[in-house]
């Protein structure tokens, strides 16, 4: 199995191109199920999760073609066509490996009239039930039955009627599934307390490009007027705000100056505010965001929250950066109950972090020391890599398949700005 070797102590300087957003791409791909016309996605990141979702769509009858590109290019252009849906079942073997597979539920129901989708099962970072997905879709008129680990959804005679649903708590995935089901409903649907994340806006904008009628884009109340059919489109995936924030944290702990090309400041204001408070110089410009740091970090008090609050997907990376801050930082994780699994590994590198429930106290230390460490999930793996960039000696990061799920050509991008990093192939 491959590992990543990082020898710390190098400052970072240069340019990192920010790839298309993983969290958006996995939402836009199932939109292809909503039409029999071709849908082309540009700036699609080269990631293991994107490949897995493509394989799932292939099993449902969607053809996928990728435009030729040089191996050194970032991103891909993929055209998907669901001329005829040949299967309406998302099996357990696929859904258990990638929870985003549940996002075929809404579009399959809307287009084919019925579907059978496996329940996702457990998740390393905490309990992530799909009850809000099901309640929202049921409010649109769907008939649901859950048996033997699968949910079967059907349209009633006459099709989905549309309806109104208020999310008791903000749910990104449930908002996405309900949106994709509602666009082909017979009537008008209203989603209240809907998620407002930039990835939701990206989904809405693509659906509108396909002929959907959606009001309130970017707000917590979405009104969807169902249409008879959608058509194909060509759409560019938004830049990955989590990737951009992750590399900004790398600059914060390692020092230096890096230009994050294609990063969008208005999509990651909470992250940029935290970075500025920690002492980084952050300068948005027309083509991206320039981030500079001198290695002197101030402690922070942070709490994750639904957008526009601080993204839970940035918590681990900020924690790693704050391991070298001058003082104690307090981080509170409000979204997932088990998202501190990187803490024991950071402590093995010399960090001083104590957790109690959903709160972590990070007492800054003078130095970190390289060590063999093991990733437990996608963002945890990035936090360990960030720590390794500033640690004395070598850090050997195992289970890097987590990184490959969410960071396109991770080690290449860091090596290009001066990091001493390499991927070592396993036997």
pLDDT, one tens digit per residue, over 46-64 is 999 999 999 999 999 999 9
Can you identify the CATH homologous superfamily of domain 22-236?
Enolpyruvate transferase domain (3.65.10.10)
Residue 212 and residue 233: Cα distance in Å, rounded?
A: 12
Residue 176, CA distances (Å) to 31, 150, 204, 230 in order: 10, 20, 9, 17
- Say if residue 308 is preceded by a cis peptide, omega within 30 of 0: yes
Give just the sign of the alpha carbon dihedral 117, 123, 128, 129.
Answer: positive
What is the predicted pLDDT for the residue at 92? 87
pLDDT of 72 strictly over 70: no
Give just the sign of the alpha carbon dihedral 16, 17, 21, 22.
Answer: negative
Reported as a single tens digit per residue, the pLDDT across 172-194 is 999 999 999 999 999 999 999 99
Annotated active-site positions, please?
123
In three-state secondary structure terms, 259 is strand
Residue 97 and residue 94: Cα distance in Å, rounded?
A: 5
> Under a CB-based contact definition with an 8 Å cutoff, are residues 218 and 196 in contact?
yes
Residue 319 and residue 124: Cα distance in Å, rounded?
A: 18
The domain 3-19+239-424 is placed in CATH, from the list 3.30.559.10, 3.10.129.10, 3.30.70.980, 3.65.10.10, at: 3.65.10.10
This prediction's pTM:
0.95
Instruction: Please check whether the two domains, 3-19+239-424 and 22-236, share a CATH topology.
Output: yes
Q: Which residues are annotated as a binding site for UDP-N-acetyl-alpha-D-glucosamine?
A: 99, 128-132, 313, 335
What is the predicted pLDDT for the residue at 123? 41
- Mean pLDDT value of segment 35-53: 95
Q: Where are the alpha helices (DSSP H) in 327-377?
A: 343-348
H or E element: which one contains 44?
Answer: strand 39-44
Closest CA to 280 of 261, 300, 301, 295: 295
Structure tokens at 233: 């489109």
Q: Where are the alpha helices (DSSP H) in 214-306?
A: 241-254, 269-277
- Mean pLDDT value of segment 375-399: 95
Residue 140, CA distances (Å) to 5, 10, 51, 100, 155 in order: 50, 55, 31, 21, 9
pLDDT of 151 strictly over 80: yes
Reported as a single tens digit per residue, the pLDDT across 334-362 is 987 777 999 999 999 999 999 999 999 99
Q: Domain residue spans in the chain?
A: 3-19+239-424, 22-236
pLDDT of 71 strictly over 80: no
Residue 348 and residue 350: Cα distance in Å, rounded?
A: 5
Closest CA to 252 of 352, 331, 324, 301: 324
Q: Which residues are annotated as a binding site for phosphoenolpyruvate?
A: 22-23
Residue 290, CA distances (Å) to 39, 174, 265, 270, 285 in order: 34, 34, 10, 16, 8
Residue 364 has a CB neighbour count (10 Å cut-off) of: 17
Work out the pLDDT band at 247, boundaries 50, 70, 90: very high
Q: Strand 420-424: give its sheet, edge to edge.
A: 372-374, 394-398, 3-7, 420-424
What is the predicted pLDDT for the residue at 121? 60
């Amino acid at each position: 199995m491959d590992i990543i070797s990082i020898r710390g102590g190098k400052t970072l300087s240069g340019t990192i191109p920010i790839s298309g957003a993983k969290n958006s791409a996995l939402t836009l791909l199932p939109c292809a199920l909503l039409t029999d016309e071709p849908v082309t996605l540009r700036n699609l990141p080269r990631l293991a999760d994107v490949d897995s979702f493509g394989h799932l769509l292939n099993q449902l009858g969607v053809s996928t073609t990728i435009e030729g590109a040089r191996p050194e290019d970032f991103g891909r252009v993929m055209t998907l066509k669901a001329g005829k849906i040949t299967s309406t079942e998302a099996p357990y073997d696929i859904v258990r490996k990638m929870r985003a597979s549940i996002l075929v539920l809404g579009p399959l129901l809307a287009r084919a009239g019925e579907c059978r989708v496996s329940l996702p099962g457990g998740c390393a970072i905490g309990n992530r039930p799909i009850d809000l997905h099901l309640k929202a879709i049921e409010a649109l008129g769907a008939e649901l039955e859950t048996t033997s680990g699968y949910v079967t959804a059907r349209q009633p005679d006459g099709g989905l009627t549309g309806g109104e649903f208020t999310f008791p708590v903000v749910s990104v995935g449930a908002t996405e599934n309900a949106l994709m089901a509602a666009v082909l409903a017979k009537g008008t649907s209203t989603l209240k307390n809907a998620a407002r994340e930039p990835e939701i806006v990206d989904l809405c904008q693509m659906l509108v490009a396909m002929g959907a009628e959606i009001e309130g884009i970017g707000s917590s109340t979405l009104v969807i007027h169902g249409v008879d059919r959608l058509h194909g489109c060509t759409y560019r995936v938004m830049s990955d705000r989590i990737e951009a924030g992750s590399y900004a944290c790398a600059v914060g702990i390692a020092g230096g100056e890096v230009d994050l090309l294609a990063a969008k400041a208005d999509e990651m204001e909470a992250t940029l505010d935290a970075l500025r408070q920690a002492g980084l110089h952050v300068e948005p410009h027309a083509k991206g965001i320039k981030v500079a740091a001198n290695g002197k970090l101030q402690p922070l008090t942070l709490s994750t929250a639904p957008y526009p609050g601080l993204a839970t997907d940035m918590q681990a990376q900020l924690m790693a950066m704050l391991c070298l801050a001058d003082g104690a930082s307090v981080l509170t994780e409000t979204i997932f109950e088990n998202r501190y699994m990187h803490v024991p590994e950071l402590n093995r590198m010399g960090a001083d972090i104590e957790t109690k429930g959903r709160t972590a106290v990070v007492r800054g230390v003078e130095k970190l020391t390289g060590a063999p460490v093991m990733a437990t999930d996608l963002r945890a793996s990035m936090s360990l890599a960030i720590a390794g960039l500033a640690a004395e000696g070598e850090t050997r990061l195992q289970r890097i398949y987590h990184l490959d799920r969410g960071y396109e050509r991770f080690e290449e991008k860091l090596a290009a700005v001066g990091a001493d990093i390499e991927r070592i192939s396993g036997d």
